[in-house]
């Protein structure tokens, strides 16, 4: 009789465990429980996306749709405000200070063995790993991490420029063409086709959308969505650079682009172009989401969408990425995990993109490799109000770091220069408080999160750096 009761207890315990998994607890792994992963990267996409509320001019209906499906993070930050180190860090699990990958000219493959990246990790755990578009920075490819990499759909050489513009290195053009004139359309179509297939093994599908990366050349219809007379310039302080240390002034580098603006109209034209590219990228993401919603494996497919870093459009007299300030470091992070994330939920906790690797491992019950440095944010995906005190860390060049907490951003440069901003009361970072003795303890507390080691930069290995 005792054996029967014990057997029944085991059955009931197993049933209860199954119910716990389905009700939203993170999975504990075996082959049957692995989820498909739809992994979407968007290049140079800052926080001008609906759910942030940072710029309500921009039309992002499909990113808004994705946000409504799961959990969106309002304070998610890149590992580096540069394409190559940002992507190398996220994909490898090694921060720039540990790998030596700091800039676009650094060949990340030298500092990151092929056994370490997220793609290899999922292959080793029984996944079919497919990639297309921009996942790593161009020119440093290692396709053996993938079972297949899509490189079709080249840009149409017959596209027609209707109107173009430029100041400094900022360039844009309106095209007399349809969406399929650019690679992003074809990457989205390829990813959509893969989602509609039935796969024998769990699937890791990585799709990289290139826009809104420059050049801001997209079909004219996207420019038409943003009439110039309706464009609102971002908040701007003409004296913003007066309280910066020497390293901060060098980072702003206003003579590169901003001081070449000939008029406010030209500034608005550039913003129009960037917004047009965001909406073009959004349309391609929509093609992928349409297929996801029709996918035969939708109920067992999770989504993570991330931008590799942000982008300045004149804030702090700066354009492009390449800074440790808010505009260059904050970007979208959206998770949709069936039976885990709550539709339409928002998390305001501060995280960085190094969290993606360990969280994907945790959700799928996979043992995390020891080299991974990011933090698992699974508990935030289940409950956005969970306790969380770990700040985001961003690195730009050797031993230049930014620590971003819920309230503060602390920047320390290699030569000792400092910046401190109250992000609650000064969201555009106009007042550097680093030299105010009242905030000495704040700086000391944030400095505890700076990397203890800073590996020497790999340096340029003869490949073009690009942007």
SS3 191: helix
Using the structure block, give the residue that is written with the tokens 């700040």: 391
What distance in Å separates the CA atoms of residue 311 and residue 314, rounded to the nearest whole number? 9
Report CA-CA distances (Å) from 81 to 19, 220, 363. 42, 29, 27
What distance in Å separates the CA atoms of residue 111 and residue 399, rounded to the nearest whole number? 17
Give the H or E element holding residue 38: strand 36-42
The residues near 309 (Cβ < 8 Å, ≥ 6 apart) are: 44, 78, 80, 81, 82, 83, 86, 321, 328, 329, 331
End-to-end CA distance of the chain: give it in Å, rounded. Answer: 72
Tokens representing 120 are 């290899």
Q: What DSSP line would sit under 102-129, residue for residue?
A: -STTB-HHHHS-TTSSHHHHHHHTT-EE
Q: What are phi and psi of 404, to 5 degrees?
A: -115, 115
What distance in Å separates the CA atoms of residue 283 and residue 68, rounded to the nearest whole number? 16
What distance in Å separates the CA atoms of residue 380 and residue 93, rounded to the nearest whole number? 19
Does residue 57 contact residue 226 with C-beta atoms inside 8 Å? Answer: yes
- Find the length of the chain: 467
Tokens representing 182 are 């650019």
SS3 164: strand
Tokens representing 166 are 């430029």
Helix axes 356-363, 83-92, angle to 10 degrees: 30
SS3 37: strand
| Residues noted as catalytic | 83, 137
Using the structure block, give the residue that is written with the tokens 């140079």: 44
């Amino acid at each position: 009789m005792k054996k029967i009761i014990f057997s029944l207890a085991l059955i009931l315990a197993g049933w209860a465990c199954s119910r716990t998994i389905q009700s939203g607890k993170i999975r504990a792994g075996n082959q049957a429980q692995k989820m498909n992963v739809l992994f979407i990267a968007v290049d140079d996409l800052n926080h001008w996306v609906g759910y942030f509320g940072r710029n309500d001019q921009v039309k992002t209906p499909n990113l808004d749709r994705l946000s409504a499906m799961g959990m969106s993070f309002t304070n998610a930050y890149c590992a580096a405000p540069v394409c190559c180190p940002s992507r190398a860090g996220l994909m490898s699990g090694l921060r720039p200070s540990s790998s030596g990958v700091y800039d676009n000219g650094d060949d990340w493959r030298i500092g990151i063995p092929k056994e370490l990246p997220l793609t290899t990790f999922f292959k080793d755990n029984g996944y079919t790993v497919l990639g297309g578009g921009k996942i790593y920075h161009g020119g440093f490819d290692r396709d053996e991490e993938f079972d297949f990499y899509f490189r079709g759909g080249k840009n149409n050489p017959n596209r027609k420029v209707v109107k173009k513009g430029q100041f400094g290195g900022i360039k844009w053009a309106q095209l007399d063409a349809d969406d399929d004139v650019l690679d992003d359309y074809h990457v989205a179509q390829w990813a959509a086709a893969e989602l509609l297939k039935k796969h024998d093994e769990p699937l890791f599908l990585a799709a990289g959308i290139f826009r809104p990366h420059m050049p801001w050349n997209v079909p004219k219809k996207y420019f038409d969505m943003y009439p110039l007379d309706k464009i609102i310039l971002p908040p701007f302080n003409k004296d913003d650079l007066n309280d910066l240390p020497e390293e901060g002034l060098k980072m702003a580098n206003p003579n590169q682009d901003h001081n070449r603006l000939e008029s406010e109209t030209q500034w608005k034209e550039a913003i129009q172009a960037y917004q047009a590219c965001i909406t073009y990228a959004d349309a391609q993401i929509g093609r992928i989401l349409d297929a996801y919603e029709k996918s035969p494996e939708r109920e067992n497919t999770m989504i993570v969408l991330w931008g590799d870093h942000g982008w300045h459009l004149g804030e702090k007299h700066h354009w492009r990425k390449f800074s440790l300030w808010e505009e260059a470091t904050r970007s979208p992070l959206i998770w949709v995990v069936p039976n885990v994330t709550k539709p339409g939920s928002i998390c305001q906790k501060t995280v960085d993109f190094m969290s993606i690797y360990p969280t994907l491992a945790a959700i799928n019950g996979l043992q995390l490799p020891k080299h991974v440095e990011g933090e698992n944010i699974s508990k935030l995906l289940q409950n956005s109000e969970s306790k969380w005190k770990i700040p985001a860390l961003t690195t730009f060049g050797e031993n230049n770091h930014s620590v971003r907490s819920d309230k503060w951003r602390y920047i320390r440069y290699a030569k000792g220069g400092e910046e401190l901003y109250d992000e609650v009361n000064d969201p555009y970072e106009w007042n550097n408080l680093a030299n105010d003795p009242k905030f000495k303890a704040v700086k000391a507390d944030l400095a505890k999160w700076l990397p203890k080691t800073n590996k020497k930069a790999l340096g340029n290995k003869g490949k073009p750096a690009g942007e």
